[in-house]
Structure 1
Amino acid sequence: MSNSQDSAAVAARRMQIEAALADYPHVSNESLGGLIHWFRKEASALDVAMLASNEAIAESYNRFRADHIDRMTLQDVMKGLAFAAAVGLAVCFIIWWVV
C-alpha cells in the first residue's frame, strides 16, 4: 500500500469517527466502543487535533472526551500510587544509606 493509499484510509477512518462523534451521545454501544478504541489505540496527535478543531462537532467532541477519555480511572490511580510508593521507598533507602 502506498503512502497516498495509507493517508486516504486514515482520512476515511477519521471521517467515520467525525460522523459518529456528531451523533454523540446518541450512539450505539458498538459505535461507542469503536470511538473509544480509535482514540486510545489508532488516533495520531494530528487526527485528534483535527477533530478538536472541527467547530461542527466541538460540543459532542468535548462531551465525549469528558465522559470517556479524560476521566481518571482506577488503573490511573493505582499507577500513581505505585509511582509514589516507589519514590517514597527510594527516598527512605537514600536516607537510610546516608545516616
Structure 2
Amino acid sequence: MSSIEAGADRAEERARVAALLSRYPEMPASDLDEVHAWFRHGASALDLGLLASDPAVAPQYRAYRADHYDRITTGDYARAAIFIGMAVGALILIAMLMP
C-alpha cells in the first residue's frame, strides 16, 4: 500500500468517526463502541487535531472527550498519592542521611 492510499484510508476512517460523533451523545451503543475503538487503536494525534478543529463536529468531539477521556479517575488519584508518598519518603531519607 502506498502512502497516498494509506492517507486516503485514514481520511475515510476519520470521516466515518466524524459522522458518528456528529450524533453524540444520542448514538447507539454499537456506534459508541466503534468510536471508542478508533480512539484507542486507530487515532493519531493528527486525526484528533483535525477532528477537534472541524467546526461541524468540534462541540460533539469536546463533549465526547469530556465524558470519556478527560476525567480524573480514582486510578489517577492513586498514582498521584503513590508518587507523593515516594517523594516524601525520599526527602525524609535524604534529611536523615545529612549530618
TM bracket, shorter-chain basis: 0.7 to 0.9
Measure, in 2, the Cα distance between the counterparts of 1:82 and 1:9.
42
Is it true that 1:22 corresponds to 2:22 in the alignment?
Answer: yes
Give 2:74's aligned residue: 74
Match for 1:87: what amino acid? Answer: A
Q: Percent identity?
A: 35
Structure 1 runs of 4+ off > 4 angstroms?
A: none
The 2-side partners of 1:74 and 1:34 are apart by: 25
Q: TM-score, normalised by structure 2?
A: 0.87
Cα 1:37–1:83 change in 2 (3 A) is farther
Q: Give the CA deviation at 1:63.
A: 1.1
Q: Deviations over 1:45-91 (max 9, x none)?
A: 11111001111112211111111111111222222122112212211
Which structure features the higher share of helix residues? 1
Displacement of 1:40? 3.2
TM-score for the superposition, normalised by structure 1: 0.87
> Partner residue of 1:96?
96
Q: Distance in 1 between matches of 2:6 and 2:97?
A: 56
How many residue pairs match? The answer is: 99
Give structure 1 stretches of 5+ with no counterpart. Answer: none
Q: SS at the partner of 1:23?
A: coil
Of 84-93 and 9-18, deviating more is 84-93
Structure 1 residues 70-79 or 29-38, which shifts more?
29-38
- What is the correspondence of 1:24-43 to structure 2 with a 5 Å cutoff? 24-43=24-43
